[in-house]
Structure 1
Amino acid sequence: MTMATWGAVLGGCLGLGVMLIVARLSTIRRPQLSVRVLPYLRDLPEAAQALGAAPRTQLSPTTAAAGVFGPMLVSAGHLVERTLGGSASVRRRLERAGLQRSVQDFRIEQVVWGLVAFVIAAAIGVVRTLAEPSAAISSLVVCALALVLGVMARDSHLSGQVKRRERAILMEFPTVAELLALAVAAGESPVSALDRVVRRSGGELSRDLAKVLAAVRTGEPVGVAFDRLAATTGIPLVARFADGIAVAVERGTPLADVLHAQAADVREAGRRELIEAASRKEIFMMVPVVFLVLPVTVLFALWPGVLGLSFTTP
């Protein structure tokens, strides 16, 4: 191969490399699709964070375990689903708890919880078996019970998450309703008032209202969006609030009066719940009085007389 041929090959490679560099630079300088679309999706819950920086992927231990032991965990999740059933109830509770995961992911979490309980019980059982060989059968039974209890404990934890979130929503509801009523009374439309309240508040109820606002901004009617909120929430007061807003928007009734009345109802319901909780715990409040304060009082009253009798008795 002559020098001219080598020069042509090297020149062609150099030209191809320059073309690739220019094409790559033009691609980098071109705005990405996400950058062009995200300014119109500011009402989504995590749009502000996405505008500032790329969203960080949060990998839970369950997700990592599912990536390593995927097939086995998926099969075990299907087995738990066939055994326990109730996927509709689980999906409903996941929505009410505000967890962005599917029923299958929850079943995998149940399997992981059960395996962790099984490993702990197995470790204790091995120690017991080494000390006492006759305890092997009972250790196996305890391991099986630990596996079942671990699976059920994740389901119970989900119910606890739902209750805590609903309690937080009830605590936030009067303030959010009053803010909406003030914004509507000031002359803003329901959507503008909802946008103002969502941008200036934080909490579980604000996240739900942010989803409603995002649905409205994408073209869904306000009444339909609030009807969906009323159907998915598990709190009667919030469902009544969403129904009231939907009816007020559709029929043109005074929305500020409706919101003020609902906020007053929620405060009255919270006051009644506090009184009922105090009445239920009245007996527990008497325990320190009866078993601690009263014996000490009797002892202080009788002890000098007992000492006097012991001094005067021959």
Structure 2
Amino acid sequence: MSPAVTGAVLGLVAALGLALVASRAVAIRRPRLEDRVLPYVRDLTPARRTTTASTGAPTTLTLLLGPLLRRAADGVERVVGGAPSVRRRLARSGSALTLHEFRVQQVQWGLSGFAVAAGYGVLRTWTRPGAPLPLLLACVGAFACGVLLRDNRLSSQVRRREALMLAEFPTVAELLALSVAAGESPVGALDRVVRRSGGELSRELGDLLARIRTGEPVADAFDRLAATTGLSVIARFAHGIAVAIERGTPLADVLHAQAADVREAGRRELIEQASRKEIAMMVPVVFLVLPTTVLFAFWPGLIGLSLSY
């Protein structure tokens, strides 16, 4: 075969490869049907819309490494376990991740730690050769630390979100009470508060409102919120609304009482924190304010004594 024919065949193969890559890139970048429809669904919460809009098509690297990551995630699930606890924490953190996606992220964090430890091991081997077994154990330990750090981050996300929900609860409860007292139905008051407010508790109530509009009974939806939340205050709030709706008790009085209880509990917790940190609060007084006061009191006398001598 002449060089010209060989070059033509290679050029044709390269052109076909580039055409396949370009066609696949266009197919990946094409928006899916749910991405075009879900932003116009009224009952979809803003957080869900943002998550849906930000979720793009998988990249080439994800497609190539996807099977390996899935198998590694299954291995982490078998070793670590605790799937019900992870599912509850994912729901409490407001994350849209599934259990399998969370395990994949744990594997990615573990691989990052493994890569850092492996890079350090390679550099140390170049400078000071030694036994490879300790470096291998360090890499395995770094992988385990990465997996555990992702789990710890999920727990911190849950605590931060629940702290925000607890801070928002009195205001949301008062708004619901005012709406109900003005003549709104419980669902109408919930819709008004969700549309007029923003925050983690409002997003949680927005998801509850979406379930109610899809046919779930109001009392059952609030009972489900009471069962899934990790805050006893929110659980009492949801259970109280469910009981008030089922038995016909005055809902506005219940909401006002719960908001007052939460504010009183917040004040009591603040007083308890101040009593527990009384010694720590005295540190700036003893080591900063008091020495400065003494210095200002005695410095002019010392200067006068030095000038007199």
The TM-score by the shorter chain falls in which range? 0.7 to 0.9
1:56 paired with 2:71, answer no
Amino acid at match of 1:56: A
Counterpart position of 1:129 = 125
Is 1:280 the counterpart of 2:276? The answer is yes
Alignment check: 8 A CA contact 1:178 1:263 kept:
yes
Match of 2:19 in 1: none
Q: Does 1:73 align with 2:106?
A: no
Q: Does 1:155 align with 2:151?
A: yes
Q: What do the CA deviations read for 1:241-287 (whole angstroms, capped 9, x no partner)? A: 00111111111100000000011111111112222222232222233
Deviations 1:60-83 (A, max 9, x none): 99x876433111111111111111
Contact map agreement 2:39 2:49 (CA 8 A) in 1: no
Structure 1 position 58, deviation (Å): 2.6
* Cα distance in structure 1, aligned partners of 2:205 and 2:166: 14
**Which segment drifts farther, 264-273 or 146-155?**
264-273
C-alpha distance in structure 2 between counterparts of 1:60 and 1:38, whole Å: 17
* Structural mapping, 1:215-294, within 5 Å: 215-293=211-289
Structure 1 spans left out of the alignment, 5+ residues: 1-31
Contact 1:212 1:226 in 2 (8 A): yes
Could you say if the C-alpha distance between residues 35 and 111 of structure 1 is closer, same or farther in structure 2, counting changes exceeding 3 Å?
closer
Provide the aligned C-alpha RMSD in A: 3.2
Deviations 1:287-314 (A, max 9, x none): 3344445566677788877x979x99xx
Amino acid at match of 1:58: T
Secondary structure of 1:69's counterpart equals: helix
Deviates more, 1:268-277 or 1:285-294: 285-294
Query: Cα gap change, 1:76/1:36 in structure 2, threshold over 3 Å: closer, same or farther?
Result: closer
Task: Report if the CA contact (8 A) 1:114-1:146 is conserved.
Answer: yes
Task: Measure how far apart 1:139 and its partner are.
Answer: 2.9
For 1:166, the aligned partner's letter is E
Between Structure 1 and Structure 2, how many residues are aligned?
Answer: 274
- For residue 206 of structure 1, report the CA deviation from its aligned partner: 1.0
Instruction: Within 5 Å, give how 1:296-307 maps onto structure 2.
Output: none
CA displacement at 1:47 relative to structure 2: 9.9
Does the CA contact (< 8 Å) of 1:174 and 1:266 recur in 2? Answer: yes
Are 1:96 and 2:97 matched, yes or no? no
- Give the equivalent residue in structure 2 for 1:185: 181
How many angstroms apart in 2 are the aligned matches of 1:75 and 1:297? 66
Q: Secondary structure at the match of 2:230?
A: coil
Q: Residue 38 of structure 2 contacts residue 44 of structure 2 at CA under 8 Å; is this kept in 1?
A: no
Residue deviations 1:16-52, cap 9 Å, x none? xxxxxxxxxxxxxxxx99999987x5222149969xx
Helix, strand or coil for the counterpart of 1:287?
A: helix
Residues 151-194 of structure 1 show CA distances to partners (whole Å, capped at 9, x for unaligned) of 10000000000001001101111111111100000011111111
Displacement of 1:126 in angstroms is: 1.6
Question: Whose radius of gyration is greater, 1 or 2?
Answer: 1
What amino acid does structure 2 have at the position aligned with 1:169? Answer: M
**Do the aligned residues in 2 keep the contact of 1:128 with 1:135 (CA within 8 Å)?**
no
Q: SS at 1:56's partner residue?
A: helix
Which residue matches 2:135? Answer: 139
CA contact (8 A) 1:226 1:246 kept: yes
Q: Distance in 1 between matches of 2:201 and 2:38?
A: 26
2:43 alignment partner in structure 1 = 43
Q: Distance in 2 between matches of 1:135 and 1:296?
A: 57
**How many Å separate the matches in 2 of 1:144 and 1:33?**
41
Query: Partner residue of 1:210?
Result: 206
Distance 2:287 2:206 in 1: 52
Aligned-partner Cα distance in 2 for 1:192–1:85:
42
Does the CA-based 8 Å contact 1:77-1:108 persist in structure 2? yes
For 2:18, the equivalent position in structure 1 comes to none
